[in-house]
Structure 1
Amino acid sequence: VACLGGIYLVREMAILLREQLNKRLGRPSLVRMTNRRGGMQEFGIAILRLLRLRPPRGAEFNDVVLHPKLKQQVMRLADATSSAKRRRMPLQHAMFYGPPGTGKTMVAQRFAEYSGLEYAIMSGGDVAPLEEQAVTELHKLFRWVHRSKRGVLLFIDEADAFLASRKNSGMSESLRNALTTMLYHTGTPSSQFMLVIATNRPHDLDSAILDRLDESVEFGLPDIDARKGMVQLYYDKYIAKPLKLPAVSSGSPMLRKPDQPNGLRRRLPGSPKPLQIPREEEVDEAAMAIVASRINGFSGREISKLFTSLQT
């Protein structure tokens, strides 16, 4: 009996210990992705940077293709955030708005790393299904955020699904309470916490949320120069490097045979038959420019998917 009692006691103590560790170290259920790391992981990354096997700090935006004005605005805000963090000044909250697939989430991740912050990504659409538990989960989220030693950039994607105006008669009581909880936690500026929300319907947001935002950054569809950069980037990433093809050159022949003048058109989505390219043929800048001109209206995500589909 004593032996069985001891086994039962040890099991219950192990369960209790696990629950306490999860409360202190576990990631909240609302957080879909984070770069929070332990001390050993940070040490390993520092060694990789020392050996030049990982890009150094400050190089986070080197491979990001944005419109020059947009990149200038993002970098200005990132430098201001980094400076405020070093001086332990309150961090500014921001809104990224624009069509889907224009790079808002990716820029938020690079923004946090450039500024020396951790990031945590959640979706506004995950709050409503929690119903009455939403308030509890939000409190857990902010307790987890404030335990960070480096500070956290909390990125809320699809923010309009959670932070819509309270004047909307269709808003449930539980979602209204969750919005009030978010307002409570973001009412006081903090040197440890930065809120970035993303939406394609900024006018649907609650006025109190808009009042807490210091910066608004518009992410539009890429122009011709940005599309050229993305075509080059994704061709190298998904086609040239995996297949060990030659790099794009400025003087090599066009990527089509004389008897196939419309070869590039057949590589786009919806084409009846993909063009088979011999390994010895090279892609030049003129061919890239033609592709960029023909995908006008594509988002960055759609351009990425286009080149991913060419692998099959």
Structure 2
Amino acid sequence: MSWLFGLNKQQPPDFSQFTFPPPGAAGGGEGGDGGKPPTNKEMEAYRFDSAALERAAKAAKDLETSPFAKEALSLSMAQEETKQKEILSKAKELEVQIEAAKAEGKRVEAEERRKNLQEQAKLDQQKAQYQDQLARERYADQLSQQQRMNDENLKRQEDSVAKQEAMRKATIEHELEQRHKYDMKRLEAEMAAKGKVDRENQDLTLEQIRVRAAEDRETTLKSIVEQRETILSSIKTAGSAIGTGLEAFLSDPAKIQAAVGGLIALTAGYYAVKGSLGLTFRFMEARLAKPSLVRDTSRVNVFDSVRHPVQTFKKLQKKPEDVLEGVVLNPALEERVRDIAIATKNTKFNKGMYRNILLHGPPGTGKTLFAKKLAMHSGMDYAIMTGGDIALLGKDSVGAIHKVFDWASTSRKGLVLFIDEAEGFLRKRHEDISEELRMSISAFLYRTGTQTDKFMMVLASNTPEVLDFAVVDRVHEPVEFPLPSQEERERLVRLYFDKYILQPAIEGKRRLKVADFDYSEACSKVATLTEGMSGREITNLALDWQMTTYASRDGIFTDAIMLKRTEAAVQHKKHKVSWRSAHEIKKSVFSASVIAAVEQAAPPPPDTPQPA
């Protein structure tokens, strides 16, 4: 409406843009399309309503004459200003949005740049790693080439030394041969010269021999005559003295009684001294000397203290130890073993009767180590013997067993008698065993038939099912030592890795270094690979690591050595298992063949018809 009053810069609408054709032009008039007149719809498209324009002009004139013209103008101007402000605010909002879009673009650009830098850093790191790998490979190739060169040089040196040694041997043999020939020629010349001299002096030599023989005969005859005369005179003198003494002795009854009493006293003294010496010797042997069947003992005796004073002093300085120190078992078995150790210690303190224990399980699971720790923890002595030694003694096995138990009964601190491989001689007596072994089993059962407060018997066996029933009946508590599980194997690997690898490397006393790798992860991996291995096999594996490191050129223990030797130990374990399986199969096949042969050789029952 503002343009009606001429207050706006905008121009009023130009109505000249609207053209109104003359009537009949739409249809073309007579000269139009076919000479037809236009229709009503076609005409309305070109009509203009002038009444609306006239009303607008009249409204503008009325508004100019109206008293509210100024208010309408001010209102119109306010609306115009409001619209302009809205337009400005929209423009500012657009500017803000543009700035925000620019900031977002910069942020996105910075993020892209950061990602590019990260990718570039990764690429640089990969490139550095690849270059390092190439450098390592080149270094490894150089080392291998150097090793090959060293091997070739060593081989050449060995060949040269072998050639020199062969030449030296040939020279020595030639010298010996020439010396032998020279000695033979010299001996031949000496013998020829001596033979010539002997032939020339033969007559003189024979005359000398005859003269010497005549002189010897005369001297011999004279000495024989003199000796004969001397003997005859001695016999006469002795006969006269004996006859005189015997006549005086027989004529005096008191002397006869004294002589008989002296002989009786001398005989009694002889047998008394003999018996007392035997008892003294057996007493000293039972208390001082270690029996031959005992392979290892912590008990100190006089002979060992004289022969090995340093070891004896160390044994005396040992203090009671924890029964599970250095022993890795599963928690349930650890609790049971600790209860046995506490009960044994309390039994010794209260001077009660000891219990007998049977330790059974696969070899290398810690049975012998537990027996030693049990003795140390209880403040007792220990003695270790094996069943195989008893089986080899034969007839002497009974006496040896009695000596062992006599020696064990004299211990002042108490003794843990550990019999390893008990199935070696304590087998079931109804099996096909020798008579000597039956006698040794009977002697063992006789000495262990009653409870004692002198010693505690600990048996160990890999096959407890073959033990005699009477032996098992004397066992108060059987304890099974199974193969270590994953957790126990990891504890064992860490224990022996620290003992045989880390400690020597830290002490620096030996030429051993440890490379930089994740020890914990490597130990866990080794524990996983060594499934089915015993504690002794894991100990041998750790020692193999140490020996392999010492045998290497640089003396550095790496994870590659650790895993390589572990895989070798696992393969060796598989071979042992396969060997044992094959042996068991052969044994079962042999037993089946023997049974079949016995059945075929046995005569048929009476009611069975004989084959034609």
TM-score if structure 2 supplies the norm length?
A: 0.40
Contact 1:245 1:279 in 2 (8 A): no
Equivalent in the alignment of 2:383: 120
Contact 1:152 1:192 in 2 (8 A): yes
Q: Percent identity?
A: 39
Equivalent in the alignment of 1:93: 356
Larger Cα-atom Rg: 2
Which of residues 451, 456, 459 in structure 2 aligns to 1:194? 456
CA positional deviation for 1:284: 2.9
Equivalent in the alignment of 2:440: 178
CA positional deviation for 1:280: 4.5
What's the secondary structure of 1:120's corresponding residue? strand
Rounded Cα–Cα distance in structure 2 between residues aligned with 1:18 and 1:175: 27
Cα gap change, 1:182/1:43 in structure 2, threshold over 3 Å: closer, same or farther?
Answer: closer
Equivalent in the alignment of 1:7: none
Whether 1:296 aligns to 2:559 is no
Counterpart AA for 2:496: Y
Equivalent in the alignment of 1:311: 546
Q: Deviations over 1:248-295 (max 9, x none)?
A: xxxxxxxxxxxxxxxxxxxxxxxxxxxxx9735144322211111110
CA positional deviation for 1:243: 2.3
Cα gap change, 1:44/1:71 in structure 2, threshold over 3 Å: closer, same or farther?
Answer: same
Rounded Cα–Cα distance in structure 2 between residues aligned with 1:278 and 1:75: 38
Q: Deviations over 1:72-120 (max 9, x none)?
A: 1111111111111111111100100000111111111101111222111
Alignment of 1:278-289 (within 5 A): 279-289=514-524
Equivalent in the alignment of 1:74: 337
Equivalent in the alignment of 2:502: 240
Counterpart AA for 1:66: L
Counterpart AA for 1:31: V
Rounded Cα–Cα distance in structure 2 between residues aligned with 1:238 and 1:284: 14
Whether 1:231 aligns to 2:493 is yes
Cα gap change, 1:144/1:19 in structure 2, threshold over 3 Å: closer, same or farther?
Answer: closer
CA positional deviation for 1:175: 0.5
Alignment of 1:1-312 (within 5 A): 21-37=284-300, 56-168=319-431, 170-244=432-506, 279-312=514-547
- Structure 2 alignment gaps of length 5 or more: 1-277, 548-612
Counterpart AA for 2:471: I
Rounded Cα–Cα distance in structure 2 between residues aligned with 1:155 and 1:47: 21
Rounded Cα–Cα distance in structure 1 between residues aligned with 2:478 and 2:414: 21
Contact 2:290 2:301 in 1 (8 A): no
Equivalent in the alignment of 1:6: none
CA positional deviation for 1:44: 5.2
Counterpart AA for 2:523: M
Q: Deviations over 1:134-171 (max 9, x none)?
A: 00001111111011001111111110111111111x11
Equivalent in the alignment of 1:251: none
Contact 1:231 1:303 in 2 (8 A): yes
Counterpart AA for 1:244: I
Cα gap change, 1:119/1:278 in structure 2, threshold over 3 Å: closer, same or farther?
Answer: closer
Cα gap change, 1:235/1:209 in structure 2, threshold over 3 Å: closer, same or farther?
Answer: same
What's the secondary structure of 2:521's corresponding residue? helix
TM-score if structure 1 supplies the norm length?
A: 0.77
Counterpart AA for 2:357: A
Contact 2:288 2:301 in 1 (8 A): no
Cα gap change, 1:245/1:193 in structure 2, threshold over 3 Å: closer, same or farther?
Answer: closer
Cα gap change, 1:38/1:28 in structure 2, threshold over 3 Å: closer, same or farther?
Answer: closer
Contact 1:239 1:245 in 2 (8 A): no
Counterpart AA for 1:304: T
Q: Deviations over 1:220-253 (max 9, x none)?
A: 000111111110111111111112289xxxxxxx
Counterpart AA for 1:171: I
CA positional deviation for 1:37: 2.2
Bigger share in helix: 2
- Structure 1 alignment gaps of length 5 or more: 1-15, 49-53, 247-276
Contact 2:356 2:457 in 1 (8 A): yes
Counterpart AA for 2:454: Q
Counterpart AA for 1:161: G
Instruction: Determine which structure has greater relative contact order: mean sequence separation of CA pairs < 8 Å that are 6+ residues apart, divided by chain length.
Output: 1
